[in-house]
Amino acid sequence: MSLAENLNHAIERIERARIAYDRHHIVKIVAVSKYSSASEIAALYEAGQRAFGENRVQDLKQKSEELCDLPLEWHFIGTLQSNKINALLALRPTLLHSLHSLELALELHKRLEREDSHLSALLQINSAREESKSGFLPEEALETYARLQEECPRIALEGVMSIGAHSEDSRLIQKSFETTQGIFETLKPRGARTLSMGMSGDFELAIACGSNLLRLGSTLFKA
């Protein structure tokens, strides 16, 4: 299948899941291009895709510079190391999905203040409580969100992000999504409007749990 066909196929599946959830629900796709070349990204852009995501700062820099003539939107979805903060901020990403620790937030805020700029971000929740994953535990999420809004006003928190439980059992994945959805709903009065959940293997389930931002890699870029 061509990349355009992959995209069409994904959109059809998203539409069915979205309408089953709520006709008025809007779902956006971030195409995760971490294993893809600039020419593949350009091909998906030609098919209508605008938002792309990378998990390494170096790759984001290289691909966004190579494709700077296209009006693309770049998202950072990986675990950000503090020695890469300046490099990431220089690229002015549309959204950081993976704000995973207090130290990172404080460091980001300090640099943003110095540069008199802002960064939109999502709080990453480790809702399946997996050691291999970054993010805040569910019970820390509400207090941390409020604290960051208070102490780090240069980070514009727009909601939460989560990776579904690493499991073959869809009930466990669903449970992890529902945990994040509950946190998102509680944070709506604080301005949360983005719920980033769902990858190639579990995006329909994520939509059924209220996700409005999908991070799709392999299903879009597979040959």
Ligand X SMILES: *Cc1c(COP(=O)(O)O)cnc(C)c1O
Q: Which residues bind ligand X (CB under 6 A)?
A: 32, 34, 55, 77, 163, 199-201, 215-219
Task: Transcribe 100-121 into DSSP letters.
Answer: --HHHHHHHHHHHHHTT--EEE
Residue nearest to ligand X (CB): 217
Is the Cβ of residue 79 or residue 186 nearer to ligand X in the bound state?
79
Give CA–CA dist 113/79, Å, rounded: 22
What single-letter amino acid sits at 113?
E
Is the Cβ of residue 210 or residue 217 nearer to ligand X in the bound state?
217
Minimum distance of ligand X from residue 17's CB (angstroms) = 15
Give CA–CA dist 73/93, Å, rounded: 8
Q: How far is CA 178 from the centre of its chain?
A: 17
Minimum distance of ligand X from residue 92's CB (angstroms) = 20
What single-letter amino acid sits at 168?
E
Is the Cβ of residue 112 or residue 220 nearer to ligand X in the bound state?
220
Minimum distance of ligand X from residue 211's CB (angstroms) = 12
No. of H helices and E strands in the chain?
9, 8
Is the Cβ of residue 31 or residue 155 nearer to ligand X in the bound state?
31
- Written as six digits, the tokens of 53 are 């995501």
Q: Name the β-bridge partners of 76.
A: 54, 96
Beta strands of 81-191 (E only): which ranges? 95-99, 119-125, 155-162
Is the Cβ of residue 170 or residue 200 nearer to ligand X in the bound state?
200
Is the Cβ of residue 32 or residue 173 nearer to ligand X in the bound state?
32
Minimum distance of ligand X from residue 215's CB (angstroms) = 4
Dihedral sign for Cα 92, 94, 100, 102, please: positive
